[in-house]
Chain A
Amino acid sequence: MKHLVILGAGTAGTMMSNHLAKSLPNEWDITIIDQRKIHHYQPGYLFIPFGTYTESDIVKPVKKFLPSRAKYIQKPILNVDKDKDLVNLEDGEAIPYDLLIIATGTDIAPEETPGMAGPHWHKSIFDFYTLNGAVKLHRALEEWNGGHLVVHITEMPIKCPVAPLEFTFLAESYFHERGMSDKVKITFVTPMDGAFTKPVASDQLGHLLKDKGIDVVPNFNVMEIDGDARKLIDYEGKEVSYDLLVTVPTNKGAKYVERSGFGDELNFVPTHKGTLQSKVKDNIFCIGDATNIPASKAGSVAHFEGEILMENVKRFIEGRELKDEFDGHANCFVETGHGKALLIDFNYTHQPVSGTFPFPGIGPLTLLKESRMNHMGKLAFKWVYWNMLITGRHIPFVPSKMSEAGKNFEEVQS
């Protein structure tokens, strides 16, 4: 038997195990390793602080979504010995592989910023990138009497780069509904030079922020947080005061990547952006948030990568040349509050554009423009996630490579 091992049973790992179970030749067995028992629907974290979802809405057992052909080892990983083709587990067991797929994603690292993970963590400084953080933030928001809410991005790259903006929009909507608008001031603080990473969408989203009375503090690279005085301080000495801070801490890849000696400075795995083969060794591939490729860290990206990775695993096994085809395609709903959302679609070379999706000229979803239909789409996506995306079923009408029909393009300047 030959061994294919997947590290990580999140969105990308679970999806790949299902793809592979269907098409990997019989002489291969499939093992998937992760320490978790529960699979989180991570896009749902965003809705927990506002009470739209509760914890039970977004968790299900990991095993429920794994194919019977895959063996699940629920244990922490110590490291990967790339020279011996072994995955070492923390309990001393060693799992050999012929082909390894790394899909261990990214996690927040509040300890990277002085003053963030201290006594004020989850008291006046919150995250919503973990279930625990989102639940605690929900309680804090329910009890809050108003003041200055600062939504903050520590440094790029982060998982789901639109989430902080969505949080900001939803917070504005939440306080409006609670009749607290006059008691709350919201400021969006970012290390980027605008609201989003791509200029066209940044303009559009920047206008939305302005219309909703939300201030933006751009080009702010936080150096430390003074939790007692409740202020953010950046490397140039600029300060932003807050009453309640909702931050997206530094995002890092899994610690075992660092222990394996092949991650970059944030523990992301150097990966070829077109083939998804790692630059670590030929028989190691990487997918989803764990890679260092210049695409968004998002479930939709992992989904689109899945198709190319399947093809390349097949080609690698057969000793054929890999397909250098992944185009960085991302497709994200952006909640804008008050029951509306917009949708963005972009890749390595094309900026988010206006137009319709998925059918050219028809929609029903509108790109880069607010609508109620988009919001319904975002909520419906939870069903798509559990039933189609991670189970590796084809999602109709949404190809992995970005379609150019029905969209108004502007090339990315390089």
Chain B
Amino acid sequence: METTIAGKQVKLNEQGYLTDLNEWSREVATALAAEEGVELGEEHWPVLEYLQNQHKQEVPLTIRKVGKSGIVDIKGFYALFPGGPLKKASRIAGIPKPASCI
């Protein structure tokens, strides 16, 4: 469905994930984060960037992988995105909901 986030037209799937990463911007991310109850600070951006890069390389993402990325450990990841870190961070990063659960 089409919707407006941070003054921009974007397409979201049923679960509220962007369907086109090209529509992502820092402003969109900030608005999506607010919906998830997360206020983005300096420490969030490198994690989001890492997720986007992995997604572009078609690497399946898991919490463990993020924990071993050298960018943030698992506890830190939970602290940044409380509740469901990978699901929330993926949504804020504008990439699909992780399909690692197979």
Task: Check if B38 is an interface residue, CB within 8 A of chain A.
Answer: no
Question: When the two chains form their complex, are residues B102 and A157 in contact, meaning their CB atoms are under 8 A apart?
Answer: yes
Interface string of A388-414 (1 = CB under 8 A from B): 000000000000000000000000011
Enumerate chain A residues within 8 angstroms of B15, measured Cβ to Cβ: 413
Q: How far is the CA of A266 from the CA of B82 in the complex (A)?
A: 24
Interface string of B67-102 (1 = CB under 8 A from A): 010000011001000111001000000001001111
Of residues 50 to 68 in B, which have CB atoms within 8 Å of A's CB atoms? 59-60, 62-65, 68
Question: When the two chains form their complex, are residues A235 and B102 in contact, meaning their CB atoms are under 8 A apart?
Answer: no
Task: Check if B13 is an interface residue, CB within 8 A of chain A.
Answer: yes
Shortest C-beta distance, A188 to chain B (Å), equals 15
Enumerate chain A residues within 8 angstroms of B62, measured Cβ to Cβ: 155-157, 265-266
Enumerate chain B residues within 8 angstroms of A235, measured Cβ to Cβ: 74-75, 78
Interface string of A152-183 (1 = CB under 8 A from B): 00011100010000000000000000000000
Enumerate chain B residues within 8 angstroms of A197, measured Cβ to Cβ: 101-102
Shortest C-beta distance, A27 to chain B (Å), equals 36
Of residues 236 to 276 in A, which have CB atoms within 8 Å of B's CB atoms? 236, 250, 264-266
Enumerate chain B residues within 8 angstroms of A156, measured Cβ to Cβ: 62, 100-102
Of residues 15 to 32 in B, which have CB atoms within 8 Å of A's CB atoms? 15, 19
Q: How far is the CA of A193 from the CA of B87 in the complex (A)?
A: 10
Task: Check if A187 is an interface residue, CB within 8 A of chain B.
Answer: no
Choose one: B59, B63, B82, B96; the contact of A221 (CB below 8 Å).
B63
Interface residues on chain A, size class: 20 to 34
Q: Who on chain B is nearest to A155 by CB? A: B64
Question: When the two chains form their complex, are residues B99 and A294 in contact, meaning their CB atoms are under 8 A apart?
Answer: yes
Task: Check if A192 is an interface residue, CB within 8 A of chain B.
Answer: yes
Question: When the two chains form their complex, are residues A236 and B102 in contact, meaning their CB atoms are under 8 A apart?
Answer: no
Enumerate chain B residues within 8 angstroms of A265, measured Cβ to Cβ: 62, 64-65, 68
Enumerate chain B residues within 8 angstroms of A223, measured Cβ to Cβ: 74-75
Of residues 280 to 306 in A, which have CB atoms within 8 Å of B's CB atoms? 292, 294-297
Q: How far is the CA of A414 from the CA of B75 in the complex (A)?
A: 28
Question: When the two chains form their complex, are residues B100 and A157 in contact, meaning their CB atoms are under 8 A apart?
Answer: yes
Shortest C-beta distance, B58 to chain A (Å), equals 9
Task: Check if A387 is an interface residue, CB within 8 A of chain B.
Answer: no
Interface string of A184-211 (1 = CB under 8 A from B): 0000000111000100000000000000
9 closest A-B pairs by beta carbon, nearest first, are A197-B101, A235-B78, A156-B101, A413-B13, A265-B68, A192-B101, A414-B96, A296-B102, A294-B99
**A binding-site residues for B, Cβ under 8 Å:** 155-157, 161, 191-193, 197, 219, 221, 223, 235-236, 250, 264-266, 292, 294-297, 413-414
